[in-house]
Structure formats: C-alpha cells, structure tokens
Chains A and B, each alone.
Chain A
Amino acid sequence: MADVALGKKFLGQPVERVEDEILLMGKAQYSDHLPTRAGTQHAAILRSPHAHAKIISIDTTRAENIPGVTAVMTGDDVKEMSEAFLIVLRQPINQWALAVEKVRYVGEPVAIVVARNRYIAEDALAEIDVTYEAMKPAVDQEEAILDDAPIVHEAVGSNVVSTRDFTYGDPDDAFAAADKVVKMKIRYPRNSQTPLEGFVVTADYHQGENLYDVASNYQGPFTSHPVMSMALRVKNSQLRMRTPQWSGGGFGIKVQIFPYVVLICLASKKVGKPVKWVEDKLEHLSAAAAAPNRLIKMEAAVKNDGTVTGFRFDQQDDYGAFLRAPMPGPLYRMHGILTGAYDIKNLSVTNRVVMTNKCPSAMVRGFGGPQMYYGIERIMHKVATELGMDPLDVIRKNLVPAGVFPYRAAAGALIDSGDYPGAVERAVKEGALEDLKKRRDEMRAAGKKYGIGYAAIVEPAQSNMGYLSNILPRDERQRNPKGGAVANATVNVDPLGTVSVTADSIPQGQGHMTILSQIVADVLGLTPDQIKVNLDFDTAKDAWSIATGNYSSRFSSATTVACLKAAEKVKAKLARIASQTLNVPADQLEFVDGKIRDPSNPENGINFYRAAGSAHWTPGNLPDEMEPCVRETGSWSPPELESPNEKDQINTSLTYGFVFDFCGIEVDEDTGEVKIDKYVTMHDSGTLLNPLLADGQVHGAFAWAIGCALYEEFVYGDDGSFLTGTFADYLVPTAWEVPEPQIVHMESPSMLTPLGAKGIAEGNCMSTPVCLANAVADALDVEDITLPMTPTRISAMIHGEEKPPNNDKPAVTIPVKGEGNVLRGTGETFVPAEPLEVWNTLLDPKALAAVIPGCHALDLIGDNSYEADVSLGVGPVRGRFKANVGLTEMVEPKKATLSGGLIGPLGASQGSGHVFLEAADDGTKVSYDYAIELTGTVASVGGRLLEGAAKALVKQFFQRLGAQVGGRPVSGGEPWWRNLLRSLGLLK
C-alpha cells in the first residue's frame, strides 16, 4: 500500500496528551461515576467457596426477607431466562451467568442479590443458605489429564476438550538429520495485569422495546456482543452497549465482563429497574480472569554450529473451568508466528486445551505470547548451553535475515518489515553489552552470582479475526470462513467548522485520543487541540464490527487507518467545495494552518471553517450530487488477513514488530532476591506515531513483566482453594521494584498499513519474563526455572528446599482429604479441674456453647454431634458460619476425636483433631492436635494470618474451657485476635 502524503507536523512527534488535563484534575468520569436514574438497584454476588461441588439446594428466603432487598436470583432463574454462552469449540461446555447444578471453581457466581444499596446486598449474601456436596477437584493441569482425574464437564467426558496437530515443512526429517536434539519442559504460571478499576456494569431493561441498555467498562472485542445478545435471547440491536470515555485500565481483562453484563441485564429484567454492579478486588482476583498457565514440552533440532532446523511443540493450556469467548485464543493468536524471530522452516505443533477447577482463563496483555516465548527463548538459551556457545550467537545464527521481507513464516505469519540482525547489533552497541559482560566477569570474580539473559521476539499486532478458525477441522472452517479485522472511525465537521472524531478503539489509558487528534490535525491542516475526539462508544450509534475494541495492540495499525481514511474523505469533500470558490482543481489544494489554499498562490484560499460551514448553511451551492453535511466514516480491513489455508497456515496478525532484550541481574545468595542491574530493550515497532506514548507502553509492559517474572502468580491449593485474594498475597511491583529500562528504537515502517505503525504495547510482556529467567539460568547455572522467581524458589535452587519449622508438626498425624490449604497445630494447656469434669463440659451443649468463641447457638443434633452458629473472623474478613461437629473414638475421660466442618458465605472448612485429657497436679493437662482444610474467601484473603489465627482460636477455646470448668467467668479470656496481635508484637 502506498505511503500517504501526510504533512506529519504532529504525527511522529512526542505530543503531550489531550487526555491528561481532565484526568489530573480528577474530573474524569469513570464507569462508577456515570449517572444512573433514580431507583437504580445495586447487586452483590454470592460466590462458590468450593473448587468443585454439586449444588444440592439454595435457600434464599432469609435473604429475600431483609428490608431493602429487591430480589435474589440463582442459577435456576438464569437458566430459565437465558441461553448458555456460545463458545468457539463444539463441545458441551455450558456456562450460564450463574452456576447451574454444580460449581467448578472458587469464586464462581452462585446467586445474585439485588438491593437498595450495595451494603444491604452484601448483608443479604450472608443469609443465603447453599448446601453443597463437595467433589474432588481437578486442579493441576498435568493431573487433570490423567484417566482417573475428576471431570470438570461430565458431558465432554474428558478434561482435554480439544487436541489439534499441525505440521509445517518436514520436522521429522529435520530431527532425523539433526546433530543434536535439545529438549525442555517449561511451565508458565497463571497471572493477570489486574487493572485497578474493577468491572462495572449498569443495565436497564426497557420492557416496551425488549431492549437492554448497558453501560459498562467492557473493552471489546465485540465478537462477544453476539455472544451476549444470543444468551439474552435478543437481536444485537436489542443489546445497546455503551462504554465510557474513561476506563481505569483494561489490559485485556475487561473483555471478561461479558458474563456479568448478561447477569446484570437479567437482574434488571427481573426487578424492572436499572441494576448496577461494581466488582471488588477479591472478586476480581479470584474470578475475573487469568492468563492460562501453560505446559510446553519442546524440542529443537540443532546443528553443531548452532543452527536450529526444527521445533516440536507440545503445548497444553489450562483454561480453568470454562471456555469463554474468545478462548482458547492464547493458544492460537500466536500460531502463525510460532517460530518467533527465527528462520526455522520445520515445525510440528500439538495444541491441547485442558479444563481444570480454576478461574476461567482469559485475554491478558501479551495474549499467548508470554507463554510461547518463554518456551522458545528458554530452549534457545539451552541450545547455547549444550553447544557451549554464547546464547547471543545462537540467536544471531537463527534470526530471520535482513532483506527478505515480506517474509512468510512456517506457520503462516506474513512478517511485514524489519531488520532483525541490524536491530540486535544496534542494541548491543547502544546498550553497551561488552561493558555488561565485563561487569559480569568482575562480579563473578568477586564471588557474586551474576548472569546475563537475552530474548528476541516478534510482537504481533491487530489480530486476524479468523485466527481461531484453525482450531476447527479444515472442512468445517471452509464452510464458514473467517478472516479480516475491520476498523471504523468517523470524522465530523459541524456548522461552525469544528472537528470531532469518534472511533472504535475503546481505550483504557493508552492515549488514543491524542494520536487520533494528531492524525486528523495533520490531514486537515489544523492543530490537535482543534480536534475533539470522543471515544465513548455506543453500539446503537457508532459504526462497529466484530473486531471493535481494545485488544491485541490493534489501535496503532487498525483504528488509526480507519481514522486516516475518514479524515481524507473529509479533506477530499472540503477540497471540492473550496475548489468552486478558488477556481483551483481540488486535488491541487493544500490544507495549512486552518486554511484551504492554492500552494502556488497562498493568497488564494478560504478558511477551513468556511468551506465546512457551506456544507451546512448553503447546501444548495454544493457541487453537483454532493451530499450535505461533513461527516465521513472510514472503514478498513487489511486484505492480508486471510482465512487459514489448506496447509493450516494463517497470518494471525497484520503487523509484526521486533523486540530484542538483554539484561544483567545479580542473585542475592542470602535472600534469593533477583536484582535487576541493567535492562536494555530494543523495539522496532515500525513508524512511531507518538514516541512519548510509545515509551509509555514499553514502560508499562515492562513493569508488568517484572511482576510476571518475579512476583505475580495466582496460587491454588491442591484442593482448588484460591490463596491470593488480596494485593498483599498477589504481589504487584511498586516503584521500588521496577527499574527504568534503557529503550532503543528502530523504525522499519510496515508496508501493510498506510501509517507504517505496528504494535508496541505487548512486546515486553513476551520478552522480559524469559529474558530475566535466562539471566537467572546464567547466574545459577540451572536449567529448570519456574516463574515467578520468588526469593523462596531461588533460595531453594541455591540452598535446597526450606524445611517447615518443627514446632508446627502435630504430635499425631491427622489425615486430611486434600493437601491444599491445611492448617495443622498442636498445643497443651492446664485446666484446674478433674479430667471427668472437663470431659463432661465437652459433652454438655450448654457449657460447650459458652466455651466456643463467637458461638451464638449450639444444638445437639444426634449422639455426640452438634450444630452450631458461630461468628469467626480472620484478617479483613469476619462472618457467620454454620458448624457441624461430632465426637468419636471416645474414651471417657481420656481422649476423643473431634471432626466436622464449617460453612458460611466466607468459605468452608473441614477438619479434625484429637483431645487428650491427663490428670495432673490438681487438675488436668489437656493436649490437642488438629488439621483444618480451608477454602473460600477466608483462604483467599486471610492466608497470611490463618496459621496464627487458628492457633489463637484453639488456644482461646481451651482457656475458656479451663475458665468454665474452673468456675471462673468465661469472659475472662481475651478475644483471640488480641492474642494474635500480642503474639505479633502489635499489642502490649
């Protein structure tokens, strides 16, 4: 495509953002600030404490009776009112907006309360009684594929719901002819960039038109719009989606709002009023989205000179409990570029989609790239190690050479432009790699563990809407071929000549308004501050298509082009109008400084606003057949984004940038901390539209990548309990942990987009985690590196696994079902009463009720079995639980076994313990041990405090027992949390 004669007065310049003023003043209206009409109700969602359980019954009566509660809905209501969400795979994996019949992950929505305000709605959650029958969960992705694994979706019959094999070139031949086959097994963890602003949905059902009017910080892609409208049983036009101008970060994650859009729509229909829901952070961390964890078994066919002639990938992605559209995208979005930055012709790939009892996976910045490049760049590092070569020489040896673009990669990517070897050498020089190598030598000579890592990656942008078609068999996808990627933008000039722009990019902080104003200003000879860009979006009014939205770096090569086209149409129209007055052919006029004029006689011109105004004020004077007004929409879809071909090749994205990173790190041998000493990142992202904003995207991706490499992971217990439900558990890097990388730019314009721009926002998510891992591998001379590289993991590599402290070992081993989040403890106390007295107290419901901390009621429900209503809390959460406790193996008055469980809105637990009574001086020595498994909110947010809290609670129980038996007032014991604070030194 020909380059466009742009003035480029503003484009390409580090123009400050037009967005910033309102944001800095705190005047921007995010979703939670949008006006709602009077009577709007507020929703709260009850979520599953179990990873896998049958829902036996749900009793909502008490919740419905709370004043202020408008309605409570369960999966039965939702199933009656809506369809299961459409998914990409032809498999019976049915998901509704609330769990139906069983729950499949901790955090899965089970019921929704609609009430006058959020506080009342949350109160009511505690009054919903759900009876679950816990099932064994499939948690680990490698165990989930075994024959005897619990099945997440019984109707599918297996947790492996899709397997596809692909072959390109002749990998068997390449491996047979190889001097060496290098093998590696890598795992990439679950994580997410967790935008600070959570999901917000306000839905207003209009009964007269059977229309759902929704405002939400949803980010597209609008491929999920039909998924929502079909679930709601309406036409697309009856689901009006509006997204606000301002959104508090997205990073792909806000795609996953769509099931909640449907849920809140149904709630609005049910109560006949608008309903608003704002997600909180625990909901977000446990149930919003996670990039899929991936297991890759990789093989490289290698020649002794370092040439890699073939790759074999066996990729297995863990998508959690459901496949929400556009899953399994991360496994297929990178497909065309599976050979990365390398000229490798022979490739075989097996893609497996695995279901487990974890939060459903989703789009997250990088979208399959971090996982894939972790495999490729780790194995390239290993190839170097095994051949005794410098890793950079192996990279150099295999890079796609200069001068071959456009280059068709083995799996189908059409790489548009670049000079990979040139970029590497430029980074090496400008980043002073030789000095870094010297520094490594010096540090090592001083006894430090210092390493250098490298990573070379290709960064795709603007996804082919047909990329997921490869998951279908060839004949099936040929019946319904998909491809392309449509972008839309509209430029409007009003009667007074002021210019406004709307577009389909749904930004979340990237600065799209600024860039569009730069483009339009350049085309129309104006200044960016004369262009008003409005990027709030409304499917009822704006031009949109399935590709609409903010994901996969589509803005800089898609929406910008649509906007350019719209601006050029406006320019052409105004030039024709001006041509009449100026007596100069339209195509010879120039647009400069607010004027349309003859370049050979600048005096012969008219003001821009006057030419535009005449299309409004005097339409009768317009040139023949010209329509009045000035409002032009540009739509664009690049022809290079074709459907997959007969050989399963697919050009998965339109543009391909290049990123090359190297870094120096020091591992602190004492603490296991990885310290980043130097980081250089080289980007060739085609033409930079705004270098200031481009660097901002690099910095942001880099910071999250530091998190992925060193801190961030969604952790699950073996029982499927979710253990990272706060920002104190899911650690996010702060200003202290993120150094400033040295950025080196090179600009090889894309020949496939008129502006030459490529994506830049995802590259470091793909390159940086593996670059740091390679540096640690170099520093420690180890092969198997698991992300995130926490001090615990690094220390274990240096010093061996840390043994748990001895004092936590129970005297008696108590078997528990899983080995998830298990608390174990032992202790002993002295009670100034005879053993028989103590024994009788334990068996007396009234006395026991007085002894159990937080007990409201205790009833005997069978032989030595009790049901209790207790209030318990730990960390930031406190709630009411129903407890069932039974006494068995009783030897009066010597010992007994206690077992039972707790269930409440904050979670569930199962546990058991032993009590031993032994006569001692004037009393009884009571010794005990216990093991408790926890799941649900308590486990998610209280993990750090549970150990101490449980100890304090049990200790308090026996203190109160002593007080009760000894005839002293029970209130003598202090609350357990005071004990805890004291033991932590926070209370004197």
Chain B
Amino acid sequence: MSKLNKDARYPVTMTLNGEEVTGHAEPRMLLSDFLTHEIGITSCHVGCEHGVCGACTVIVDGTVMRGCLTLAVQADGTTVETAESLASKDGKLSELQLAFKKHHGLQCGYCTTGILMSLTAYLEENPKPTEEELRDMLSGHLCRCTGYVGIVKAVLDYCENSTE
C-alpha cells in the first residue's frame, strides 16, 4: 500500500455482503466507524474499541476480524461480510439465527451480530464442535446479558440438527 496522507480522505471500495460499496475515509478511520457512519450498516457494534469484546466482529476476505482494530483503508478492495448477510434476501432467518431465537440466545442483541460472524467462520471449519470447544471459541466474545447458556444451546442444537 502506498503511503497515505493523514489529512486526506481516500475512496474505499469493498464488496459488502455481495454488493459493491464505496465510501471515503481518512487513513485513521476505523473499519467499524466506516461501516456504521460512512456506509450506514447497523450490525458492526462498537463495544470496547480495544479488541476484547468482539461485538464489532466482521469477516474480511474470509478472515474473522475486529472492526475496531482494522482501518477502513485496509479493507479497500476486499470482500466484507457482516451479520446483514446471514438472513436470506427476502428476510428469512438462517437456521443458526433461528436456533438463537429458539433458545433465547440473545437479549440486548449488541454482542450477537459479532458472535454470529465468528460462528459463521468457525462452524465452516468445525461443523460439530464439542461444548468445550465451542465455549473455548466463544470466549473471544463478551456477552453481559445471557450468561452464554442460550448461545451454547443454540449452537449445539444447530450443529446437531442443521439441514443447511
């Protein structure tokens, strides 16, 4: 990447949830701020802004990343997936999302979208995790509402019964 001028705004183009979008960002603008305030999506939630809570988790070129620890300009030319991509175009929840609903795996919902993105990538690699493996993976996210019980149940149920 060529050296960027700190005071200039640069066009950032990405394929976001299957659609090409362009916005402008100063070099220091966080990806989380860019997605929320420049593009206008509502699923990349800023929790701690230091990479611990995981609420801003998105998938960039297939890799799970924290939106708050990534610069928008780093995402130029990439493919970004956020929780808006999980339901079908006509608004039907995915089986994983339905499992969260069934098991009360969310309350305020602030952490949920980030957890869903981590799970999306993780379950592709590990479609049948044990509860211990799953809890280990989930420890990269903080949830203050649910005590994680509904989340764990939802994922295990989904892994057991998914037809997707």
Question: Knowing that A23-B106, A24-B112, A696-B107 are A-B contacts, what are 17 other residue pairs whose CB atoms are under 8 Å apart, sorted by A's residue number?
Answer: A16-B104, A21-B101, A24-B86, A24-B97, A24-B106, A119-B26, A119-B29, A196-B143, A196-B144, A248-B110, A278-B46, A281-B50, A509-B110, A696-B146, A700-B107, A703-B148, A735-B139
Task: Answer yes or no: A438 CB below 8 A from chain B CBs.
Answer: no
Is A369 interfacial (CB-CB < 8 Å)?
no
Q: Give the interface centre of B48, B49, B55, B152 by most chain A CB atoms within 10 Å.
A: B48
Across the interface, B42 reaches (CB within 8 A) one of A16, A27, A703, namely A27
Interface of A is mostly: loop
Residues of A within 8 A of B53 (CB): 196, 727
Interface: B14 (CB within 8 A): no
Residues 236-255 of A, flagged 1 when their CB comes within 8 A of B and 0 if not, give: 00000000001111110000
Q: Is the CB of A26 within 8 A of B43?
A: yes
- Is the Cβ of A281 less than 8 Å from the Cβ of B49? yes
In the assembled complex, B159 has its CB within 8 A of some CB on chain A: no
27 contacts between A and B (CB under 8 A): A16-B101, A20-B100, A20-B109, A23-B112, A25-B43, A26-B41, A27-B42, A27-B84, A32-B36, A195-B110, A197-B108, A248-B47, A280-B49, A510-B107, A699-B149, A700-B107, A703-B143, A704-B144, A726-B52, A732-B142, A732-B144, A734-B141, A735-B139, A735-B152, A740-B147, A740-B149, A876-B50
Binding site for A on B (CB under 8 A): 26, 28-29, 36, 41-43, 45-50, 52-53, 55, 82-84, 86-87, 91, 93, 97, 100-102, 104, 106-113, 116, 134-136, 138-152
A702 within 8 A of B: yes
> Which residues on the A side are within 8 Å of B41 (C-beta)?
26
Q: How far is the CA of A770 from the CA of B36 in the complex (A)?
A: 42
- Closest chain A residue to B42 by CB distance? A33
Query: Which residues does chain B contribute within 8 Å of A24, judged by CB atoms?
Result: 83, 86-87, 93, 97, 100-101, 106, 109, 112-113, 116
Q: Is the interface of B mostly helix, strand, loop or mixed?
A: loop
Instruction: Answer whether residue A29 sits at the interface, using C-beta atoms and an 8 A cutoff.
Output: yes
In contact, A249 and B108 (Cβ under 8 angstroms) = yes
Contact partners of A30 in chain B: CB under 8 A: 42, 45, 110
* Cβ of A791 to closest chain B Cβ, rounded Å: 17
The A20-61 residues at the B interface (CB cut-off 8 A) are: 20-21, 23-30, 32-33
- Docked CA distance A197–B151 (Å): 19
Residues of A within 8 A of B142 (CB): 196, 727, 732, 734
CA distance A798 to B144 in the complex (A): 32
Q: Does A70 contact B (CB under 8 A)?
A: no
- CA of A970 to CA of B143, assembled, Å: 49
CB nearest to A743 among chain B residues: B149
In the bound assembly, the distance between CA atoms of A249 and B148 in angstroms comes to: 15
B86 to chain A: which residues have CB within 8 Å? Answer: 24-26
Q: What distance in Å separates the Cβ of A365 from its nearest Cβ neighbour in chain B?
A: 10
- A residues with a Cβ closer than 8 A to B are 16-17, 19-21, 23-30, 32-33, 119, 193-197, 246-251, 278, 280-281, 508-511, 692-693, 695-696, 698-704, 726-728, 732, 734-738, 740, 876, 941
Chain A residues lying within 8 Å of B143, measured Cβ to Cβ, are 196, 703, 735
Closest to A764 in B: B147
Which of A25, A28, A249 gathers most chain B CB within 10 Å?
A25
A27 touches B55 (CB 8 A): no
Q: Judge whether B147 and A738 touch: CB under 8 Å.
A: yes
Complex: A27 Cα to B116 Cα, angstroms: 14
Q: Are A20 and B106 in touch, CB under 8 angstroms?
A: yes
Most B CB within 10 A of own CB, among A16, A509, A698 = A509
Minimum CB distance partner of A740 in chain B: B149
User: In the complex, what distance in Å separates the CA atom of A510 from the CA atom of B108?
Assistant: 7
Q: Report the nearest A residue to B150, measured CB to CB.
A: A696
A26 and B56 alpha carbons, distance in the complex (Å): 11
In the complex where A248-B108, A509-B107 touch, is A25 in contact with B83 (Cβ < 8 A)? Answer: yes
Q: Which 7 A-B pairs have the closest CB atoms?
A: A26-B43, A509-B108, A23-B109, A248-B110, A699-B147, A703-B147, A26-B83
Choice from A281, A740, A941 contacting B47 with Cβ under 8 Å: A281
CB <8 Å contact, B93 and A726: no
Return B152 CB to nearest CB of chain A, in Å: 6
CB pair B147–A700 under 8 Å, yes or no, is: yes
Contacts of A33 in B (CB 8 A): 36, 42
Contact B48 A727, beta carbon cutoff 8 Å? yes
Contact call B146/A699, Cβ cutoff below 8 A: yes
Q: Judging by beta carbons under 8 Å apart, are B109 and A509 in contact?
A: yes
Q: What chain B residues lie within 8 Å of A735 (beta carbons)?
A: 134-135, 138-139, 141, 143, 148, 151-152
A32 to B40, CA, bound (A): 11
Q: Let me know if B144 and A251 touch, CB within 8 A.
A: yes
A556 to chain B, nearest CB (A): 15
Shortest C-beta distance, A26 to chain B (Å), equals 3
A356 to B42, CA, bound (A): 40
Cα–Cα, bound, A509→B45 (Å): 15
Whether the pair A700, B146 counts as a contact (CB closer than 8 A) is yes
Q: Are A196 and B47 in contact (CB under 8 A)?
A: yes
Interchain CB contact (< 8 A) of B139 among A247, A734, A740:
A734
Point out the residues of chain A lying under 8 angstroms from B135, CB to CB.
Answer: 735-736
In the assembly, what is the distance between CA of A728 and CA of B52, in Å?
Answer: 7
**A512 vs chain B, min Cβ distance (A):** 11
Whole-angstrom distance between the Cβ of A277 and the nearest chain B Cβ: 14
Closest to A508 in B: B108
Q: Give A193 to B138 CA distance when docked, in angstroms.
A: 19
Contact A195 B144, CB 8 Å, known A727-B50, A735-B152: yes
Distance in angstroms between the alpha carbons of A768 and B139 in the assembled complex: 22
Distance between Cα atoms of A387 and B24 in the complex (Å):
72
Q: How far is the CA of A509 from the CA of B109 in the complex (A)?
A: 7
- Tell me the smallest distance from the CB of A871 to a CB of chain B, in Å: 15
Contacts of A693 in B (CB 8 A): 104
- The residue in chain B whose Cβ has the minimal distance to the Cβ of A706 is B147
Residue of B nearest to A734 (CB): B139
Q: How far is the CB of B108 from chain A (nearest CB, A)?
A: 3
| Chain A CB within 10 A, most for which of B53, B93, B108, B141 | B108
When C-beta atoms are compared, the residue in chain A nearest to B46 turns out to be A32
Contact indicator B101/A26 (Cβ below 8 Å): no
